[in-house]
Amino acid sequence: MYIPPINKVDDWEEIVGFVAAVRAADLVTVSPTGLPIATLMPMVWEEANPEGPSYGRLIMHMARGNEQWKSITPGTHGLAILHGAQAYISPSNYSNKETDHKVVPTWNYQSVHLSGTVEISEDIELLRKIVTNLTAQHESTRAEPWLAEESDPHYFELQLKGIIAVILHITKVEAKSKISQNKSAQERERIVEDLFNSGILGEDVIASEMQRYL
């Protein structure tokens, strides 16, 4: 991922927190024929370790009918892309829009890329653990969390047979936050106000992120 120094995120807790908040990743692999394939999957980052060379594992699962897993062989490299909120930034927010006119629009966003090798598994007990843990994580904020154990046992087993475990062994972590760090405080304040008032989905999130650094 292209990351200018001003946009690079190094804070490990911030990176881990971002991944946990996003909750799903596009896993990109390349088939033996050279065709890129991607699938969006809910995930859990296990054993996230800032020291390396291994940075933990991204645990996911996909439908058995998905052709992507069939092209994954031992040693296959994968890239998990995690997207945050995004926003169009208008030149109207810049001080020199009426002076030298050296202004252009831009796009603000936050993103994390996790790279490594991909492992697949059809082990039923591993799949049971993945689904149970993922469910527990997403149900934890509900007043009355639903438990995987509440599902009809026979139905649950049939569903497990319809999925494949996908594990990304992470060897590289890249994090980028492009939120107008190259602009003046006054311009960033105008951008924040503009985004809060836009009414466009997600732009208020970028505004809040910008506000944290003002």
Please tell me the predicted confidence (pLDDT) of residue 53. 85
Q: What is the pLDDT of residue 160?
A: 96
Give the Cα separation of 79 and 170 in Å (integer): 9
* Residue type present at position 44: V
Type of residue found at 74? P
Question: What is the pLDDT, as a whole number, of residue 75?
Answer: 92
* Site of tokens 């020199």: 96
- Rounded distance, CA 134 to CA 117, Å? 21
pLDDT of res. 99: 77
> What does the pLDDT read at residue 82?
98
Residue 97: the pLDDT is 75
Domain chopping of the chain, boundaries: 5-88+104-182
53 cis-preceded (ω within 30 degrees of 0) = yes
Q: Which pLDDT value is given to residue 139? A: 94
**Measured distance CA(132)–CA(61) in Å, rounded:** 12
Q: Residue 117 in contact with residue 78, Cβ under 8 Å?
A: yes
CATH fold group of domain 5-88+104-182: Pnp Oxidase; Chain A (2.30.110)
For position 49, what pLDDT does the model report?
86
Enter the tokens of residue 171. Answer: 């060897």
Q: Please give the average pLDDT of every successive group of 10 residues along the chain, which has 214 residues.
A: 96 96 97 94 92 91 96 95 96 84 92 98 95 93 93 94 97 97 95 96 95 88
